[in-house]
Amino acid sequence: MCTPASAWRFIAGQTPGPMCDLGWKSLGVLELTALPSIGEERWVPWVRGADVLLVDGGDATYLCHWMRQSGLADLLPSLPDTVWVGMSAGSMVMTPRIGDDFVNWKPATGGDSTLGIVDFSIFPHLGHELMPDNTMHEAEKWAAGLGGPAYAIDDETAIKVTDGTVEVVSQGHWKLFPS
């Protein structure tokens, strides 16, 4: 879903929502697929020292797989003061399921399950002009098959979770589909 150029644009602040160009004191990049080969003693201190983890989009099941393979998923519970800022798949990976509509890469175990750190699912990019299938009607059909609460959100909406409390921050359009 992403390309090397799109990853560079995200890091360089050249995307429509430039998360990396917000005046951070420092910024580092981790390539999850490389982490198992460099050893935890090298990268875990960097993650523990971060205040914020910015996670761009792509494929949520692929991201989930490599978060587990690298050990980052196991590290997350020990980082209670670290803020996770996910965009698109970077948010979806934190949910229990993404729904079959968003599965592009299939893990060996199959299915659409992700990390389950939050207890709701996310239908991203609602009404996006480059994604004509991301309509409210499609979101309703998607949510009906999940068996749990879900949010459909546009690109002007964020979901903030603090100590289990969910808050929608939006200047756009969104909808909660209760379970």
Q: What percent of the chain stands above pLDDT 90?
A: 77
- Per-residue model confidence as pLDDT tens digits over 114-137: 999 999 999 999 999 999 999 999
- Does residue 108 belong to any structural domain of this protein? yes
Instruction: Say whether both 76 and 157 belong to one domain.
Output: no
Place of tokens 């460099």: 38
pLDDT higher than 60, residue 1: no
φ, ψ of residue 71 to 5 degrees: the values are 100, -5
CA distances from 75 to 40, 78, 91, 157, 173 (A): 10, 6, 17, 27, 33
Instruction: Say whether both 107 and 134 belong to one domain.
Output: no
Instruction: Say whether both 107 and 144 belong to one domain.
Output: no
Beta carbons of 142 and 123 less than 8 angstroms apart: yes
- Does residue 28 belong to any structural domain of this protein? yes
- Does residue 6 belong to any structural domain of this protein? yes
- Whole-model pTM: value is 0.91
Beta carbons of 95 and 63 less than 8 angstroms apart: no
The least confident of 6-10, 107-111, 160-164 is 6-10
Range of the domain at 170: 118-179
